[in-house]
Structure 1
Amino acid sequence: MESQYDKKKHFIVNTVYISLIVILVYIFLKYGLSLISPFAFATIIAYILNKPAEKISKSLKIPRKLVSFALVLIFYAIIGIVISFIGIRFVSGISKIISSLPSIYEKQLGPFLINISERIKDAFYNIDPAIVEMISEGFNQFVSSLGEHITNFSLSLLGSLSNIASVLPGFFVKVLLTIISTFFIAIDFDSLVDFIKRQFSPKVNKMMDNIRGYFVNTLFVIIKSYGLIMLITFIELSVGLSILGISNAILIGFLIALLDILPIIGTGGILIPWSIIELIQKDFGTGIGLILLYVFITIVRNIIEPKFVGKQLGLHPVVTLMSMFIGTKLLGIVGLFGFPIALSLILHLNSIGVIKLFKQKNT
């Protein structure tokens, strides 16, 4: 019978072992992932296209390598066209808004603030003229300073767009590496898989197949869950923008729903600046409506996201929310998706006996 000392010893050893693995994985994801990301993305894309390539090759009696080459070419052509269309429209729209900020201040916000100043001065004139003079002087300084800040802000934003353009060469190098790697991996996919399998024992290969199958299934489940969340967000945006009388509400709702998946931008990155501009232009109905729409979408998403994702992954909503929050803080968008998937994988491996971290419920 195992002694109390041995149990404690095993617990400490397992805890240290798991902690080291977690630390190494974190260091790799934090600092090493960007180095191998082109090849990782290439492998994922090649894996996705592998089964369609096999089916097409068998049904049409065409060499598999030729089919793989054609599928990769078609895949990147479609992706390139879609990204180019959305990117050009988005950057063009943002640039116009940023460029128009000084003009909006000069024609809309400035006169609006001056009008408020005059009303305040009229209200205080009969009480104490000295207060009116002090208010007038302070307000003039405020308006002048605000105008300078808005101009500098718009110039800095335009400068930021230029800075983004300066890092594009490095980005395009990674994209080019990804595309070239995808062609090579897709063409020789079976040979590469066979080579990797030969390096491990049958037991390890079985475990790797189990992990791969569960990971792929989980990844598709995540895509399905977020696809449903994006659909709900798209419906909310389309209905809300239509009620507010926004032209092209469905197209705008679709584009914002695509950005909603990103933690940095989200719906707030579009709706909040948009509402501020509408309020400055004295369109209070649209401005307040956009703010209320953003609040409604945010509340709905915070309720349904942990439930949808957690249910599909077999995690409690609180655990899902916690893993998503910690993952986002540590690794950004990679952590947002990676942490819930990793936690689900750990629970799966524990349930089938590959690892023993948590006690199972007796059935």
Structure 2
Amino acid sequence: MKSSTKYLKILFNYLFAIIIVCLVLFVLPWALAFFWPFVVAAIIAAIANPLVRFLERKMKIRRKAGSIVVIVLTLAAVAAAVYGIVYLLVTEIVGFFSSAPDMWAKVNSSIRAITAEIGHRFALLPKGTRDFFDNLGNNIYDSLSSVGSSIGERAAESASNGVKNAPLFLVGIVMCVLASYLFVAEREQIAKFVSRIMPEHLTERFNIVTKTMKSAVGGYFKAQFKIMGVVYIVIFIGLLILRVKYAFLIALLIAFLDFLPLFGTGTVMWPWAAYALVQRDYKFAIGMMVIWGLSQLVRQLIQPKLVGDSLGMPAIPTIVLLYVGFRVGGAMGLIIAVPIGMIVYNLYRAGLFSNFIYSTRMLLNDFRRMRIFTSEELKQEGIEETDTGFTNKDI
């Protein structure tokens, strides 16, 4: 291979990699948000297509008719589930906010009582130490008050934005339903059209990416949602036994925290148990710790079986991904960092980055050859290799 041709290929591979990275980082998120009805429709179609194929082969129902039946049933099931969940959430959220002033007054009085008791016990300490603890208690109280007010303001702002965007959301729902039907009913025609306009090597790469997405992201999130569901059931039953108000909502929030890496159920349940101990409600504190222990035990028992080899990544890259995801995107970054890493890792194993890796290795080899002097070059300069005590292989 000529030197100019080789470096031209290397330059092209690097430019291609830069373009792909820019598209993934900047264009893809915008495109997914803008075309969300069609993205959701594609997911619904992927779920409904096996059922349509079953109706088409076993029951001899035409694909378009079967598509209508399955799409309607799927959307009806999803709508019923969403309606039930939203109804329960709204009921408990309304009840929670209606009783929030009384709950806050109780928490406030408890904080004041704890502060007074601490101040009484530290009365014998020097004045500077007492002032420090007094300021600490006041700062904690002010922080809690500001957090409560900011949550209320954000909730009101979110509700206002939701009302403004409701018409656009309804249009998106209609487009999603229509696209779901067309994706299922016209699946064969769409596949033929794509295979006709796309080159064969791009079709192969696309199939690799699709398979990787299904196995990596689908398997990971499916396992995590199953674990979250089991943990939610354990916490919900435990809170019902302890007669906690709004058990459905609280258990759902705790289970969601358990879904997030680096958090877990202890983020809420440990401080709650500590607060119960301060209130001398030992029965409730013990019950809370029992619920936490059971949820963690159940999670550790079912996690190996459900997750299994869905990650398919070494431990150290996984930890690095979690850290980078948290620094870049916070809690959402923690959720999506591992699936993104799984996709990249599986694409690497499938050979999609081979040309970029080969280009890098060629550049490094050329750099090494440029750095090292040959024996002939040293002789031309009047230098013997033995004068340095090293050979070229040692350099």
TM-score of the aligned structures, taking structure 2 as reference length:
0.66
- Cα distance in 1 for partners of 2:162, 2:233 equals 33
Identity %: 21
Alignment of 1:239-254 (within 5 A): none
Shift in Å, 1:74: 0.9
CA spacing shift, 1:201–1:46, aligned 2, 3 Å: same
2:337 — aligned with what? Answer: 336
- Cα distance in 2 for partners of 1:147, 1:326 equals 30
SS in 1 for 2:313: coil
1:47 — aligned with what? Answer: 46
Aligned counterpart for 2:175 among listed residues 174, 177, 180: 177
CA spacing shift, 1:172–1:114, aligned 2, 3 Å: same
Instruction: Give deviations 1:207-266, integer Å, cap 9, x for gaps.
Output: 333333343333442244324543664476468758967699899757753664367997
Instruction: Give deviations 1:291-330, integer Å, cap 9, x for gaps.
Output: 897699789989x989986932431122233335435655
- Cα distance in 2 for partners of 1:127, 1:211 equals 67
- Cα distance in 2 for partners of 1:8, 1:309 equals 44
CA spacing shift, 1:318–1:172, aligned 2, 3 Å: farther
Is the 2:254–2:265 contact (alpha carbons within 8 Å) kept by the matching residues of 1? Answer: yes
- Cα distance in 1 for partners of 2:297, 2:273 equals 18
- Cα distance in 2 for partners of 1:144, 1:27 equals 42
Alignment of 1:186-335 (within 5 A): 186-227=184-225, 229-230=227-228, 233-234=231-232, 237=235, 256-257=254-255, 260-261=258-259, 267=265, 271=269, 283=281, 286=284, 290=288, 311-327=309-325, 330=328, 332=332, 335=336
SS in 2 for 1:30: helix
Is the 1:102–1:150 contact (alpha carbons within 8 Å) kept by the matching residues of 2? Answer: no
For residue 55 of structure 1, what is the amino acid of its counterpart? F
Is the 1:236–1:297 contact (alpha carbons within 8 Å) kept by the matching residues of 2? Answer: yes
Is the 2:269–2:289 contact (alpha carbons within 8 Å) kept by the matching residues of 1? Answer: yes
- Cα distance in 1 for partners of 2:84, 2:262 equals 21
For residue 189 of structure 1, what is the amino acid of its counterpart? R
Shift in Å, 1:35: 0.6
Shift in Å, 1:102: 2.3
Is the 1:104–1:281 contact (alpha carbons within 8 Å) kept by the matching residues of 2? Answer: no
Is the 2:273–2:285 contact (alpha carbons within 8 Å) kept by the matching residues of 1? Answer: yes
- Cα distance in 2 for partners of 1:315, 1:71 equals 36
- Cα distance in 1 for partners of 2:63, 2:205 equals 28
TM-score of the aligned structures, taking structure 1 as reference length:
0.71
1:162 aligns with 2:189: no
Structure 2: runs of 5 or more not aligned: 359-395
Shift in Å, 1:40: 1.6
1:74 aligns with 2:73: yes
CA spacing shift, 1:275–1:62, aligned 2, 3 Å: same
Q: Number of residues paired by the alignment? A: 352
- Cα distance in 1 for partners of 2:139, 2:219 equals 53
- Cα distance in 1 for partners of 2:319, 2:118 equals 49
- Cα distance in 1 for partners of 2:92, 2:296 equals 24
- Cα distance in 1 for partners of 2:296, 2:84 equals 27
Structure 1: runs of 5 or more not aligned: none
CA spacing shift, 1:273–1:123, aligned 2, 3 Å: closer
- Cα distance in 2 for partners of 1:24, 1:176 equals 29
1:96 aligns with 2:87: no
Comparing 145-154 with 46-55, greater Cα deviation is found at 145-154
CA spacing shift, 1:222–1:127, aligned 2, 3 Å: closer
Higher relative contact order (CA 8 A, sep 6+): 2
